Structure 1
Amino acid sequence: MRTLAIGDIHGGLKGLKQLLEIAKVTIEDQLIFVGDYVDGWSDSAQVIQYLIELSKTHDCVFIKGNHDVWCEDWLRTGDGDPVWLAHGGQETVESYASFSEDEKKQHLYFFADMSLYHIDDHKRLFIHAGFTSMHGVEKEYNFRNFYFDRTLWEMVVTMNNNLKQDSELYPNRLKHYSEIYIGHTPTINFYVDKPMNAANVWNIDTGAAFTGRLSAINIDTKEIFQSDVLKDLYPDEIGRNKS
């Protein structure tokens, strides 16, 4: 059995389907999604429906991202945060035009059931954005950091990669986990189109919302799988700022 961690999808159902085909995913594989399923390309509601169906046949873990929080709030209240609407939310609202109220309610339950983080038996942490507590995610003072924090990634990309985990200089918040898998901050911001590794952190958001691809990584072998560039899969759509 493989465990594949999958980056931010942002409404790109065509990229997700292509990625799972390229990775030759079977029912024996575990799939861990690090969040931001919606907002961006035109298939946000369709992505959620696809994932609901996928979870019936596959072992899936769904982590909640900041865009998922915004969408969940809209599904619950009918009101869209103006920041959300300006950063891909409007496209998500439009994608729900053909969905019934019962289907929307099913999606709301799906969002509500998502985890804020996942820790496996090998002390590998999966989280959308990051955390700030030196004592680990269980001691985080503000759970919003789980889907909004960028300081974790900002810290590790400036670290000396020769620094060992048992060093006194190694940041304490990293020592709790053998590896950490995140999304949220696109690697294309650093001119890299594949998952990036810094210290014991893997960033698997490769900019599918913008000009990048959707990526998956085998967490044991570090084999990487990628879709085509999403803008090529949606040539009639104009990507918007979805950070």
Structure 2
Amino acid sequence: MTTSAQPIPSGFRAPDGMRIYAVGDIHGRADLLQEKLAAIEAHHAAHPGVDALRVFVGDYIDRGADSCGVVEMLIELGRRERCVFLRGNHEAYVLDFPHNPKIMTAWRTLGGIETLASYGIAASPEPDPAESLELANAFERSLPESHRVFYRDLLLSYEAGGLYFVHAGVRPGIPLAAQSVADRTWIRHEFLNHEGLFEKLIIHGHTPATEPEIRPNRINIDTRAFASGRLTCIWLEGGNFGFV
């Protein structure tokens, strides 16, 4: 279902001639992603006449049952449609784990066991250092090269017109062009509690909410899909937005 169009907060605008579809944190829910991609296709077919760009704000993996399937689906989508894939904080674990098995202690609490299972690697609930090393080696062998490239090439942020897409948010008082990797993938309270406008409207995920949060300076599209069953997609075109 698509809400009726509303003005983009604070007068920010999407680039002319473009409709942007931005999808929130997926967290291994390939079933929800498949449904949402079909809904985006239907929405775009019903409202033709502009180019479509699909932006995904990160956290494709962990928690849900099919992280591998999510990544495979996104890779295939990127081959036929114009897409931007951003890096979330969870993707950092995938990039680091083969070279730093010690992070399994933290990663398992965030859904790393489920991600490994989706790649065909079984792990105990609390792997010790020896098992973590075995898991890291198995993951390195099992990870398809196309997935390795996908994780490696994820962007930290994306700007389009008056819109700035990022996983977690930005640090107030710092120009958007100077934002750190850590803040763009991890920041919460300093960003969420800031009431002033930024250079652009920030579209982000990372912090789960029951409903999309619409503020004068930001829109949060993380609706805890892995647990709630609600994967949020916002569309933005000209000076308006709505939800698919």
After TM superposition, is the score higher than 0.5? yes
Show the counterpart of 2:133.
none
Give matches, 1:192-207, under 5 Å: 193=211, 195-207=212-224
Per-residue CA deviation, residues 80-131 of structure 1 (Å, 9 max, x unaligned), is 53111111111001100189947533212111101011111x1310000012
The SS at the match of 1:126 is strand
Q: Work out which of the residue numbers 146, 152, 156 in structure 2 matches 1:112.
A: 152
Map of 2:235 onto structure 1: 218
SS of the residue 2:55 aligns to: strand
Aligned alpha-carbon RMSD (Å): 2.3
Corresponding position of 2:177: 138
8 Å Cα contact 1:132-1:151 kept in structure 2 = no
Q: So what's the TM-score if we normalise by structure 2?
A: 0.75
2:36 alignment partner AA: L
User: Secondary structure at the residue paired with 1:86?
Assistant: helix
Q: Give the conservation status (yes or no) of the 8 Å contact 1:10–1:209.
A: yes
Of the two, which has the highest radius of gyration?
A: 2
Alignment of 1:143-222 (within 5 A): 143-156=181-194, 159=195, 171=196, 174-177=197-200, 179-188=201-210, 193=211, 195-220=212-237, 221-222=240-241
What is the aligned partner in structure 1 of residue 29 from structure 2? 12
Amino acid in the other structure paired with 1:71: V
Contact preservation (8 Å) 1:130, 1:152: no
C-alpha distance in 2 between matches for 1:25 and 1:100: 39
2:21–2:53 CA contact under 8 A, matched in 1: yes
Cα distance between partner residues in 2 of 1:43 and 1:203: 24
Q: Flag structure 2 segments of 5+ consecutive residues without an equivalent.
A: 1-17, 46-50, 122-138
CA distance in 2, matches of 1:223, 1:137: 25
Listed as ranges, the gaps of 5+ residues in structure 1 are: 160-170, 226-243
1:42 deviation in Å? 0.9
User: Matches of residues 22-101 of structure 1 in structure 2 within 5 Å?
Assistant: 22-23=39-40, 24=42, 28-74=51-97, 76-77=98-99, 79=101, 80-97=103-120, 101=141
Q: 1:43 to 1:103 in 2, by over 3 A?
A: same
In the alignment, is the contact (CA less than 8 A) between 2:21 and 2:233 conserved in 1?
yes
Instruction: Describe the shift of the 1:78–1:48 C-alpha distance in structure 2 as closer, same or farther (beyond 3 A).
Output: farther
Distance 2:142 2:43 in 1: 30
How far did residue 135 of structure 1 move?
Answer: 3.0
* SS of match in other structure, 1:97: coil
CA distance in 1, matches of 2:193, 2:243: 24
Identity of aligned residues (%): 32
Superposed CA offset, 1:189-229 (max 9, x none)? xxxx3x2111220000011022251010112232212xxxx
CA deviation after TM superposition for structure 1 residue 30, in Å: 1.0
Higher relative contact order (CA 8 A, sep 6+): 2
